Structure 1
Amino acid sequence: MSTQPNSVKRFIAYFSMEIALENAMPSYSGGLGVLAGDTIRAAADLHLPMVALSLLYRKGYFTQRLAEDGSQTEEPVDWRVDDFLTEEPARASVPIENRRLELRCWRYSVKGVHGFEVPVYFLDADLPSNSEFDRNLTGSLYGGDSYYRLCQEVVLGIGGVRMLRALGYNDLTRFHMNEGHAGLLSLELLGEEAQKAGRTSIRGEDIEKVRGKCVFTTHTPVPAGHDRFPVEYLTRVFPGQLNFFDLSDATAADLVKRILQAEQNVSGLLDAARQGASVNMTQLALSLSTYVNGVAKQHGETSRQMFPEVPIEAITNGVHAGTWTCPAFRQLFDRYIPTWREDNFSLRSALGLPAEDVWAAHLIAKHELLEVVRTKTGLHLDSEVFTVGFARRATGYKRADLILSDLDRLRQIAKDAGQFQIIFAGKAHPNDAGGKDIIGRIYKAKKALRKNVPIVFLDDYNLELGGKMTSGVDLWLNTPQFPLEASGTSGMKAALNGVPSLSILDGWWVEGHIEGVTGWSIGEPRRGPGSAAPADNQAEAESLYSKLESIILPLYYGERHRFLEVMQHAIAINGSFFNTQRMVQQYITDAYLR
């Protein structure tokens, strides 16, 4: 069945600052956007009446260039919007300071496995009627200063709701905020409720109605990661809305107190600005949502500790199986598990796949990855050699260089337990000096180990390269600093392709890990007293080395049939569960129909 996007009533609006839909369409930077794209694909597969909103980034995130020493430079992404998107005639506007910012939107239709479509609208401020500053608000993803970022969030949240109304979406019952960037949509909904009641300021009854419509997913496991903006910025952006909340109403006054995280009620926004108060976007979204969730069970616990006053559930992330399963494994599943695309849970039958066919599919994926390595770097890696993969955003807490803590130990492992090679990828944010330093350290280790352990760093990590890496390596490595991994999804993608993980027990791996069955852990579980203690890098590196030397390499080279059993369990146990089909079904029952 094929459906036109506007021929079906939509009840769920999904807002995300970034959404990854195509490799050459730079509407994403990393995990948040990839998750959003996979969520929308699963919604289309499930015939969910959803519509999605994001911003159009004409300059994208950035193209990564790496020098011979690993120094990263960034270049704007060159792409033609109308090669991918269709402009809609609808227009909307939002107030920025004392001017009106005009918006248009572009549509992308995500088609599900049975032809059902979910429309995704990208808001665009690049119109001649707007000032240069305003036109650039949909220029770069995560670019500019804090004020620029706030204005972008005004466009996403307030402009997004107004554009949906202009497009005729008037039956929406749920507004899903994928992280706090979209939190300002709740203010627009409050304004709508007040206007219906013939008022210009917000009271308690408006708050309750809006709270019943909003769903909020938080992805950030540390307080410092949540967006905060000085109230002075808000008074600058909205000079005509200083009395937006009726502070004589107890519920409204309490809401303002919570989102400002003030110890006592404030007399108004100007008073709060004079006191140097700031708006916490996560608190805004938490306070105005009927359902709030973290993105893994461990992350739910962490979030409840950060925000004990709010009931926070957990829906563990997933990945879109049809997207992240490589062609060789798709063909294998189509042959033996023909319902796997419609029913991801049927992948549990992977335990019955012929082992020789699983290995043959894996070798095809591995050869494809090594061909990418050859094309990008000129290096010819050996397909017979055990290959470790690590591809994440290059930033401190992800610790890409943990495996490189002791180069002599790596040389000895390669000599005693069997040869191995490592393929890295990942971008550092342009302002993340520490992340850039990590890439530099990997390059130094690459040079030092060139005769013993081949190391490759593939530049400009994107959707396509992510697919090649998660399907083509023999082992997926993940070494975040506990408890800073909210979920992580790269290991889920690897599992769909029979690639087991070696990972710190954080994020999704707390749930997906069965030692020696779906993969292996680094270190011990971190629960109870002392679980928040700083990571012991030396001890965790030693655990990594020990598992690699004593268990994983001997299994790969000496007991291939047992290694294949782990591969098949990774598909059957983790691939069948950690997917967005299951995840979206949980959102439907727990959040959308609540």
Structure 2
Amino acid sequence: MLDDFIHQQRVAYFSMEIALRNEIPTYSGGLGVLAGDTVRSAADLELPLVAVTLASRAGYFRQAIDAQGRQVEQPALWEPREWAQPLDAKIAVSIEGRVVWIGAWLYVLESHMGGRQPVLLFDTDLDENRPDDREITHYLYGGDETYRLKQEIVLGIGGVRLLQALGFEVRHFHMNEGHSALLGLELLRRYEYPPEDLRPGDLPYDIPRVRDLCSFTTHTPVEAGHDRFSYAQVERVLGNFVDPATLKHLAGEDSLNMTRLALNLSEYVNGVAKRHAEISNTMFPGYRVHAVTNGVHPFIWTSEPFRKLYDRYLPSWCHEPEQLVRVDCCIPDGAIRDAHGQARQALIEQVRGRTGVALNPTAPILGFARRMTAYKRPDLLFTDLDRLQAIARQRPFQVVLAGKAHPRDEGGKRLIEQLHAHASALEGIVPVVYLPGYDMEIAQALVAGVDVWLNTPLRPFEASGTSGMKAAFNGVPSLSVLDGWWIEGCIEGVTGWAIGNAAGADDGDARALYDKLEQVVLPLYYDGQDDPAGWVRVMKGAISKNASYFNSHRMMRRYATEAYIR
């Protein structure tokens, strides 16, 4: 099967996590889902890609919620053999002065349009390795800093070597976040100058040649969010892999900053939204950070009722999502309402099946699903419970929540507990349901079945965000803080609604949220029961103005023309 993919040059796409399907827990959230959508669009568009990631045999974790509303982490084990084919090639890397062998599994991602893309899942769980080394590729984002560094050695250095051993001819390397930046060091070693060609003070590697081979997508708008390793730790784990002076020149004098390393070894660098690119240019002066705003995969995130609707009226939408700009004039309002009604009923049934809670079939549903952490502010909606109840007494609404907190994020875990406490306090006035075990299946039901998608990050920490884009494909408008992609996607009253403004004070966001909900969103929804044209107009606006643009087909075409082909 591998022979199907090594006959032509490919772009090697490196990502610590990739969401391939719901049954394969090799993703934790947005970064992995974006990577999965990237590979899916490459398959649809038949762009020659090979994706490189870790097998993560123990996954991230499966989430349960106890009686007190506390998150409980359970193992998310999976068996690669059930979904992927083992490959014969193995390569070795040096970790802590010993040989660690790396093998790979081949997963073939097949597009519904007939395209196919190879995904390599790297695995150190081999008989040749000692027990602790066999676990390097087990836990996604698990362990301590040393464990993380070992994983990044396997992904970056091991990735370049194993691609070569398997016979792939790589024309370009794309690093999705800085986890794989060590691939640049392996390329430096490949393009080392002969000693006799060096003059005193010269760096011993052909850095321009390596830069020309690499692109880097950064996702983190705060300096503290980038991986760093002390040079003492790097020397102990990796050894003197490249010339120390070169490493400090590229990765920072004080510590190995993986983002700095990726920036210095990539000719093309991009942020994941226009605002994020601006912030990154400020964070990293001297570098040119382009903006390629994220997108989501058209087919995978569109519910079955809307797929059928688009197939009927806009048959080429899956390959050319820009055709969705014609939704306003081509699809009847009643057909939009009917498709959403089917998706809504599917969500109601899933909520009942998972929690036993029967949602009101007529009251609007607000949806919020994110990684549960402080800057996402999942509790903003519950800042003033008295006002929230007063709004609901006038015009009833209900809320469906979902999301995991990282096992070591105690603040995020407390937020989940607090959300359950708020749900209890609002019982009888505002139905609030928390769906445990947030995964792709739950996300697909939520973004299609709710009536309004809520997003409340603390500015400017939302680099992009993609869940609102997924909702747009299903005619669901967003009610969101102006950060990340929503600065570009929000046309007030047309695609959804803004909470506050892009430069506003964060301490006024709760009041702005309540005002917009009480005075604009809920009145429009309830008026729509007698005259539905107003609400459907916003649904169509979300599709025609946002889904038509904020999709991974457009994103991949930009990467191909601006980053890969230069």
TM-score, normalised by the number of residues in structure 2: 0.96
Output the CA distance in 1 between the equivalents of 2:36 and 2:83.
15
**Paired positions, count:** 560
Q: Is the CA contact 2:97–2:239 (under 8 Å) kept in the aligned structure 1?
A: yes
Q: Is the CA contact 2:448–2:476 (under 8 Å) kept in the aligned structure 1?
A: yes
| Among candidates 517, 533, 541, match of residue 569 of structure 1 | 541
RMSD: 1.8
SS of alignment partner, residue 322 of structure 1: coil
Q: Is the CA contact 1:10–1:172 (under 8 Å) kept in the aligned structure 2?
A: yes
SS of alignment partner, residue 212 of structure 1: helix
- Kindly state the Cα deviation for residue 5 of structure 1 after the two structures are TM-superposed: 3.6
Show structure 1 runs of 5+ residues with no match.
Answer: 263-276
SS of alignment partner, residue 33 of structure 1: helix
Tell me the residue number matched to 2:251.
259
| Among candidates 552, 568, 575, match of residue 521 of structure 2 | 552
- Determine what percentage of the aligned residue pairs are the same residue: 49
Matched, 1:438 2:415: yes
SS of alignment partner, residue 416 of structure 2: helix
Output the CA distance in 2 between the equivalents of 1:451 and 1:47.
52
Output the CA distance in 2 between the equivalents of 1:490 and 1:580.
13
Matched, 1:313 2:290: yes
Output the CA distance in 1 between the equivalents of 2:53 and 2:202.
27
Tell me the residue number matched to 1:351.
328
Matched, 1:324 2:296: no
Deviations 1:353-380 (A, max 9, x none): 1111111110110111111110111111
Output the CA distance in 2 between the equivalents of 1:443 and 1:593.
50
Q: Is the CA contact 1:259–1:283 (under 8 Å) kept in the aligned structure 2?
A: yes
| Among candidates 493, 506, 512, match of residue 536 of structure 1 | 506
Tell me the residue number matched to 2:367.
389
Q: Which amino acid aligns with 2:206?
A: D
Tell me the residue number matched to 2:105.
106
Output the CA distance in 1 between the equivalents of 2:389 and 2:97.
64
Tell me the residue number matched to 1:373.
351
Q: Which amino acid aligns with 1:546?
A: D
Tell me the residue number matched to 1:585.
557
Deviations 1:15-34 (A, max 9, x none): 00000010010110000000
Q: Is the CA contact 2:248–2:256 (under 8 Å) kept in the aligned structure 1?
A: no
Q: Which amino acid aligns with 2:372?
A: A
Output the CA distance in 2 between the equivalents of 1:91 and 1:205.
27
Q: Is the CA contact 1:180–1:227 (under 8 Å) kept in the aligned structure 2?
A: yes
Output the CA distance in 1 between the equivalents of 2:194 and 2:306.
54
- Kindly state the Cα deviation for residue 10 of structure 1 after the two structures are TM-superposed: 2.8
| Among candidates 175, 182, 185, match of residue 183 of structure 2 | 185
Tell me the residue number matched to 2:220.
220
Output the CA distance in 1 between the equivalents of 2:517 and 2:228.
42
Q: Is the CA contact 2:344–2:450 (under 8 Å) kept in the aligned structure 1?
A: yes
- Kindly state the Cα deviation for residue 256 of structure 1 after the two structures are TM-superposed: 2.3
Cα distance, 1:442–1:202 mapped onto 2, change above 3 Å = farther
SS of alignment partner, residue 380 of structure 1: coil
Q: Which moved more, 1:473-482 or 1:110-119?
A: 110-119
SS of alignment partner, residue 521 of structure 1: strand
SS of alignment partner, residue 148 of structure 2: helix
Q: Which moved more, 1:96-105 or 1:396-405?
A: 96-105
Cα distance, 1:503–1:57 mapped onto 2, change above 3 Å = same
- Kindly state the Cα deviation for residue 347 of structure 1 after the two structures are TM-superposed: 1.0
Cα distance, 1:163–1:198 mapped onto 2, change above 3 Å = farther
Tell me the residue number matched to 2:313.
336
- Kindly state the Cα deviation for residue 46 of structure 1 after the two structures are TM-superposed: 1.1
Cα distance, 1:3–1:238 mapped onto 2, change above 3 Å = closer
Pairs within 5 Å for 1:150-161: 150-161=149-160
Tell me the residue number matched to 1:90.
89
Matched, 1:454 2:431: yes
Q: Which moved more, 1:6-15 or 1:144-153?
A: 6-15
Q: Which amino acid aligns with 1:475?
A: V
- Kindly state the Cα deviation for residue 40 of structure 1 after the two structures are TM-superposed: 0.6
- Kindly state the Cα deviation for residue 239 of structure 1 after the two structures are TM-superposed: 2.9
SS of alignment partner, residue 313 of structure 1: strand
Output the CA distance in 1 between the equivalents of 2:8 and 2:455.
42
- Kindly state the Cα deviation for residue 257 of structure 1 after the two structures are TM-superposed: 3.0
Output the CA distance in 1 between the equivalents of 2:211 and 2:421.
52
SS of alignment partner, residue 173 of structure 1: strand
Q: Is the CA contact 1:477–1:502 (under 8 Å) kept in the aligned structure 2?
A: yes
Output the CA distance in 2 between the equivalents of 1:17 and 1:495.
27
Cα distance, 1:382–1:303 mapped onto 2, change above 3 Å = same
Q: Is the CA contact 1:4–1:117 (under 8 Å) kept in the aligned structure 2?
A: no
Tell me the residue number matched to 1:119.
118
Q: Which moved more, 1:187-196 or 1:38-47?
A: 187-196
Output the CA distance in 1 between the equivalents of 2:523 and 2:440.
32
SS of alignment partner, residue 194 of structure 1: coil
- Kindly state the Cα deviation for residue 78 of structure 1 after the two structures are TM-superposed: 2.9
Deviations 1:237-288 (A, max 9, x none): 23353xx2274xxxx4xx623412x3xxxxxxxxxxxxxx311000000000
- Kindly state the Cα deviation for residue 73 of structure 1 after the two structures are TM-superposed: 1.2
Output the CA distance in 1 between the equivalents of 2:443 and 2:115.
26
- Kindly state the Cα deviation for residue 113 of structure 1 after the two structures are TM-superposed: 4.5
Matched, 1:56 2:25: no
Cα distance, 1:207–1:366 mapped onto 2, change above 3 Å = same
Q: Is the CA contact 1:16–1:54 (under 8 Å) kept in the aligned structure 2?
A: yes
Q: Is the CA contact 1:53–1:121 (under 8 Å) kept in the aligned structure 2?
A: yes
Cα distance, 1:195–1:80 mapped onto 2, change above 3 Å = farther
Q: Is the CA contact 2:210–2:265 (under 8 Å) kept in the aligned structure 1?
A: yes
Matched, 1:29 2:28: yes
Q: Which amino acid aligns with 2:281?
A: R
Matched, 1:421 2:420: no
Tell me the residue number matched to 2:78.
79
- Kindly state the Cα deviation for residue 172 of structure 1 after the two structures are TM-superposed: 1.4
| Among candidates 404, 410, 416, match of residue 388 of structure 2 | 410
